[in-house]
Amino acid sequence: MASELSRRDRSLFIGLTGAGGSAAQADALTLTNASGLEYQARRCGLGFTGGIGGDFQMSWDRAFGMPSARAVAIALEESQGIHRAEKSPATTPRALGYRLVASMLELTLGDRVEWSTSESRGGPLDPASVATRERLRDWEDTRWALRRAGQPVARLDNFGWLEIDGRLVDLHFRYRELNGRLYPLVLDVLSGLLP
């Protein structure tokens, strides 16, 4: 759901809240955009709250009863009076990283080993992007680790770069080469990790 929200709103960043930024200790998955509006997906109790005063809420039962993550994203937007075009905008490099991780977690849901993510700071993985580090906001320098059985197996940044097996992959470039198709991208860059 978080990756769908970030896909629909180009200014949205995803970050974990909790002690040390650990997903295992996080109480909520928080999505924050530049204007300060926050979306939270809590693991228990009410599924979603948003805004400074918790302007909208959705129970997990209602969210899971919806046909797709896109439907949940639209319901959240409508509750805030946010109008988005029916068709999602083109995927940005940042949103592509979120979508790649979400798709991999979905594909490995029934695996015998646990798959998870964690975040850290560090800015762009691509050395050529280091010049942008000066202007980064706190949430922009996030790097994500995809973990299998607690061990990091791939890293992503907020600029569309993936580091896997000691090599860097420009996800957005490869995504365009694959005609904007997400699952072929997942299989192309992460198939060596699949069980």
Sequence-distant (6+) residues with CB within 8 A of 174 are: 185, 188, 189
- Domain of residue 50, residue span: 2-79
pLDDT at residue 59 greater than cutoff 50:
yes
pLDDT at residue 177 greater than cutoff 90:
yes
Residues 37 and 72 in one domain: yes
Summarised one tens digit per residue, pLDDT across range 132-150 is 555 555 556 678 899 999 9
Among positive and negative, which fits the CA dihedral 166, 125, 27, 2?
Answer: negative
Is 34 a member of any domain? yes
- What pTM did the predictor assign? 0.66
Is 159 a member of any domain? yes
Q: Which helix (H) or strand (E) holds 92?
A: none
Q: How far apart are CA 16 and CA 120, in angstroms?
A: 10
Is 87 a member of any domain? no
Q: What is the mean pLDDT of residues 161-165?
A: 93
Taking CA 21 as the corner, what is the angle to CA 90 and CA 41, rounded to the nearest 5 degrees?
55
User: 34, 54, 79 — which closes off a domain?
Assistant: 79
Q: How far apart are CA 24 and CA 140, in angstroms?
A: 21
* Length of the chain (residues): 195
The most confident of 24-38, 84-98, 105-119, by mean pLDDT: 105-119
Is 179 a member of any domain? yes
Q: How far apart are the first and last CA of the chain?
A: 24
Q: What is the mean pLDDT of residues 59-65?
A: 71
Q: How far apart are CA 186 and CA 102, in angstroms?
A: 10
Is 84 a member of any domain? no
pLDDT at residue 51 greater than cutoff 60:
no
